[in-house]
Amino acid sequence: MAIAEDRTALVNVAQDISLATPGDYFVLLKPRVMSLVIFTGFVGLYLAPAGPHGAINPVLGAIAMLCIAIGAGASGALNMWYDADIDAVMSRTAGRPVPTGRVMPGEALAFGIVLASFSIATLGLFVNWLSAALLAFTIFYYAVVYTIWLKRRTPQNIVIGGAAGALPPVIGWAAATGSLGIEPLVLFAIIFLWTPPHFWALALFKSGDYARAGIPMMPNVRGNRSTQRQILAYAVILAATGMLPWFIGFAGSAYGVVAALFGLEFIRRAFAVWRMNSDDPAMVPAKRLFAFSILYLFMLFATLLVEAMVLRHVAGV
């Protein structure tokens, strides 16, 4: 009798344990989002001026970037843990490891907590506690403020929650200098203002997914037409903000030209979205703006990085 009960208990335990592969845990990290975080974080770290002891040690810089990457992955895992129910009904996310059962919810939660704790502690102990505090705040903001609180409650979820995705260059700057400045805050502002038109363009042609999941994205709450107007308004503000690095003098003329040209193109594509028939099921202008918005952000930050590298090479630094 006791042996039979023990066997039953073992079977029940086995049913609660997933057979996830390493690839499933890698998906939990949201590698596409992580790649953007790593890139913008590195730009912030590289652009930072040398401190009293010179430029950041390459080993410490590598540790900082590793911690930023792991922290981003922790945020992704915590997001997938909490959002498993709505991910299951959205075509874009239904194949993720938790809703498919390849990773159990408790495992995703534990994975995220361990990664978050490791990344924050390591960054604080080896680099500095300002950058560690900013990383901790970023993870908390994304996992709790955005995912748990805002995402299912307000159509402004992306606007307010976008602060989490805008902080990596600030963390990179703080890791290199142990301080903050106007420059990383400008980089923060660019990403922060980029987030709404980027995600609202996606929401226009994925509104059915969000409706099934019960997520109050702007098109589902205020309608397509209101969303189209707001995308255009944000595009104009973003294009102007994108010029600030050149205007305040921490970017050169090459960046100014790239930011101006890509900013005008962003506005042109947003204007096409504004003119689009709100009932058009194809939503081609929205799809084109969504794709271009990724290129826009990449080009601005890549130009900042290349300019800084060229200037340091010329100066022999």
Report the CATH number that the domain containing residue 207 is assigned in CATH: 1.20.120
- Mean pLDDT for 133-160 is 94
Residues 6+ apart with CB under 8 A from 6: none
pLDDT band at 316 (very low <50, low <70, confident <90, very high): low
- Out of 179, 194, 214, a domain closes at 179
Specify the higher pLDDT residue, 275 or 52. 275
Is the pLDDT confidence value at 269 over 60? Answer: yes
**For the chain, how many structural domains are there in total?**
2
In a domain, 10, yes or no: no
**Considering the entire predicted model, what is its pTM?**
0.91
Overall average pLDDT of the 7-21 stretch: 51
Backbone angles phi, psi at 54, to 5 degrees: 90, -170
Identify the H or E element spanning 255: helix 253-275
Instruction: Give the mean pLDDT of 231-256.
Output: 96
* 169 and 200 inside one domain: no
Q: Residue 119 pLDDT > 90, yes or no? A: yes
Domain around 148: 21-179
Compute the average pLDDT of residues 79-92. 93
Q: Do residues 217 and 317 both lie within one domain? A: yes
- pLDDT > 90 in the chain, percent: 77
Q: CB-hemisphere CA count at 13 Å for 237?
A: 15
Identify whether residues 101 and 133 lie together within a single domain: yes
Let me know whether 94 and 134 are in one domain: yes
CA distance 79 to 164: 13
Which one of 179, 198, 226 terminates a domain?
Answer: 179
B/e letters for 1-38, b = 16+ CB within 10 Å, e = fewer, are: eeeeeeeeeeeeeeeeebebeeebbebbbbeebbebbb
In sequence order, the β-bridge partners of residue 54 are 51
Residue 112, Cβ density class (10 Å: 0-12 exposed, 13-18 middle, ≥19 buried): buried
Where residue 96 sits, what CATH number does that domain have? Answer: 1.10.357.140
Sign of the C-alpha dihedral computed for residues 234, 35, 203 and 210 taken in this order: negative
Residue 18 pLDDT: 60
State how far Cα 313 lies from the chain centre.
31
| Residue whose C-alpha is closest to residue 204's, from 295, 146, 287 | 287
Mean pLDDT value of segment 97-121 = 95
Instruction: Give the pLDDT score at 208.
Output: 87
Looking at the structure, tell me whether residues 172 and 283 fall in a common domain.
no
For the cut 80, the answer to whether the pLDDT of residue 8 exceeds it is: no
pLDDT score, position 2:
44
pLDDT class for 17, splitting at 50, 70, 90? low
Same domain for 192 and 165:
no
Residue 232 is assigned to a structural domain of this protein? yes
Mean of the per-residue pLDDT values of the chain: 90
CA 109, 111, 112, 116 torsion: positive or negative?
A: positive
Is 67 a domain residue? yes
Q: Are residues 153 and 285 in the same domain?
A: no
Rounded distance between C-alpha atoms, residue 260 and residue 78, angstroms: 37
- Residue that finishes a domain, picked among 179, 209, 225: 179
Q: Rounded distance, CA 312 to CA 242, Å?
A: 23
| pLDDT at position 6 over 60 | no
| Residue 216: C-alpha distances to residues 89, 126, 164, 173 (Å) | 15, 41, 19, 34
- Least confident segment among 11-25, 130-144, 210-224: 11-25
Q: Is 132 among the domain residues?
A: yes
| Mean pLDDT, residues 13-41 taken together | 83
Tell me what pLDDT residue 10 has: 32
208, 310: one domain: yes
> Are 143 and 202 within one domain?
no
Indicate if 41 and 114 belong to the same structural domain: yes
Whether 28 and 46 map to the same domain: the answer is yes
User: What are 51's strand-pairing partners?
Assistant: 54
Tell me, what's the pLDDT at 215? 92
| pLDDT reported for residue 104 | 94
